[in-house]
Structure 1
Amino acid sequence: MMTPAQADEFYARLAADRPNPKSDLEYVNPYTLLVAVVLSAQATDIGVNKATRPLFAEVRDPASMVALGVEKLEQAIRTIGLYKTKARNVIALSHILLAQHAGQVPEDRAALEALPGVGRKTANVVLNVAFGHPTIAVDTHCFRVGNRTGLAPGKNVQAVEEGLLKITPARWGRDAHHYLILHGRYVCKARKPDCTVCCVNDLCQFQGKSI
Structure 2
Amino acid sequence: MSSVTGTADPATRRPARPRADALRNRERIVAAAREMFVESGPDVPFDEIARRAGIGNATLYRHFPDRATLVREVVVSVMSRVAADAERLNGAEDDPFQAVRRFTHNAAEERIGALCPMLSGGFDREHPELAAVRDRLEGAVRALFERARSAGRMRPDVEVGDLLVALSQLTRPLPGTGCLDMDRFVHRHLELFLDGLEAPGRSRLPGTAATLEDFRPRRA
Query: What's the TM-score, normalizing by structure 1?
Result: 0.22
Larger Rg: 2
